[in-house]
Chain A
């Protein structure tokens, strides 16, 4: 029985439970809904939820656990001598799974009977031929231990899923019966449903948090692997980034960090003044009509995918800068050789960050109480004096928070730098040169054929984790500042 059928049956049980619970409650009150503790539908929901939730919970856990348990058991069955030279248990296990799937497929397409598939003494060559005829993909020759393991794997999987279906259905029926028997006019169904809802919300919240933890942990363990293969001193304190897939790479984060920070600083130099002035204009000077038109227009910038900004950098900003600063350019200085440069990426990233800075700052400036503006204007200050000397200082902690959030986006930005910053890792102060960032290197280390055992690939995780810690630190610092500022006026 397929999983979808199981789910449909559960759903049907829940629907039946809903209606029977509802009518049982009504019947216990003699058909008068006012006699009931809760509305009739709550009794229905109670039965439906008690049917569904435990069964679904067990189903999910089972689906997650079963492959792990089977893998462990079966891999114990494969003897050490069955593992070929230069391979490992993991590769053999994937072969076992492939054979098991092949047998499944062959049985499903009726190229083989179930008995043939389960025959432990089957002739291996004939079996291989039969599987190949049935169109199943095999990468290695099947050996006796692999066949044994695969057959064990198949039987455990099918036994497991039968057991799972039985347990899940039994749980659903038990739940339904339990809730149905409890349904009585005195029963506080409403409170019970409320608790069910609470559990549901809690589950959703914890999934989000657990995912974050999972991401961090997976990065962390890969990073540990990397540091076993490569010296951490070179990573943190080296000076050269020269990955070489034949070995002997120098993998230092510092040149990449330099490029990342350089580009981010240029981006912030563009975004902070423009964004801040735009926010001051919108919140202090603009009429209601202008504001209602200009603010959404500015925020459209935030909705443009970063790949489009990358194209803009590549096709428009880069060539324009070259025609200014390049050889034979308008300024005649010849500083810029190619349109891939720190300046190009920084400028375009700055444009991307403008709406980010402006919309956050706008909210913060608006949160400054009108009364202190009135106080300043009432003393004979002009509007700009009021903004400069009262409003902005009052909003400053929040604005600093907004800038830090923008900085953490700049540090983590990928697409624009991939397309516009170039690929050369170096320490240089010249903004017209190409440089590279942490994010671009992660992309290039992980695209194409990858082998997750070499330091050249694993370095991506160390880079990612470092980046994550930098942006996390910036975000925490920014939130701390923003929160502290909020308390001032409460």
Chain B
């Protein structure tokens, strides 16, 4: 199976660096959770973070849109540049940043509102629509982009919490793309989904790549191999290896990467 993957075409549309992290350290109280991570995330590319539980991949992902700010004991050092600007600079408003760097969470978390209001939430708070017609258009476009429009177009007033797990997760993706982010962070978006819903979401991720830079944390190496062009392997807070997905899975440089993808550690 791994050998087949080398044959898959891994075209990367653009080599623009979207996010560059230099010497990032993260501390939770006294715990040194992320050690010296350097990584460059390209535009219009799916980058997968893999690694055993507790290796810091989710923590690092949350640094990219400053979601860690909501945790009191968390400290971040080092530079993370989005389009060349330090996102931890004092002049940067984390609220504005999160509109540009959207996030999809592990567990589907639709708001207890209607499907329409769930998707319209971001555009409303950021004032992206001038009138109702424009908002309707944004909602429809986002739901279409998340491949859920056909399933919900007749019941936009129904509560989002009433959808199935896979539909909820696609609704959350629609909600995230409605604010027109430049980067989409996904924290194990398929871990609560069945294989069919997972396949739908993975297909969706591949489509999203044409417009956004996507960063996905996953526990499934098959999923990383299927959807990503670049893969980063984290272990005990270190970024062990980062490179083309095909190369990581077939010809890893570091012995720890090899142990992990062959199932000996993790």
Q: Which residues of A contact B (CB under 8 A)?
A: 287-288, 369, 371-372, 374-382, 385, 389-390, 393-394, 488
Contact = CB atoms under 8 A, between A and B. Distances in A.
B126 A375 contact: no
B113 interface: yes
A488 B98 contact: no
Interface string B86-108: 00000000011111101101010
15 contacts: A372-B111, A374-B67, A375-B109, A375-B175, A378-B98, A379-B98, A379-B122, A379-B125, A379-B179, A380-B179, A385-B125, A390-B121, A393-B112, A394-B112, A488-B161
B72 A287 contact: yes
Interface of B: 65, 67, 70, 72, 95-100, 102-103, 105, 107, 109-113, 121-122, 125-126, 161, 172, 175-176, 179
A203 B151 CA distance: 56
A380 B98 contact: yes
B107 A389 contact: no
B82 to A, nearest CB: 14
A392 to B, nearest CB: 11
B102 A379 contact: yes
Given A288-B72, A371-B107, A488-B112, 18 more contacts: A369-B109, A371-B105, A372-B111, A376-B121, A377-B98, A378-B67, A378-B98, A379-B125, A380-B95, A380-B100, A380-B126, A381-B95, A381-B121, A389-B121, A390-B111, A393-B111, A394-B111, A394-B112
A377 B125 contact: no
A389 B161 CA distance: 16
Closest 8 A/B residue pairs (Cβ): A380-B99, A378-B103, A371-B109, A380-B98, A375-B109, A379-B122, A394-B112, A372-B109
A288 B100 CA distance: 30
A380 B96 contact: yes
A488 B112 CA distance: 9
A133 B125 CA distance: 92
A385 B101 CA distance: 18
A380 B70 CA distance: 13
A379 B105 contact: no
Contacts of A380: 95-100, 122, 125-126, 179
Contacts of A390: 111, 121
Contacts of B125: 379-381, 385, 389
Nearest to A375: B109
A375 B98 contact: no
A371 B161 CA distance: 13
A380 B96 CA distance: 6
B95 A382 contact: yes
A293 to B, nearest CB: 16
A394 B112 CA distance: 6
Nearest to A380: B99
Nearest to B175: A379
A248 to B, nearest CB: 59
Contact of A378 (B102, B107, B110): B102
Contacts of A393: 111-113
Given A380-B125, A380-B126, A389-B121, A375 B105 contact: yes
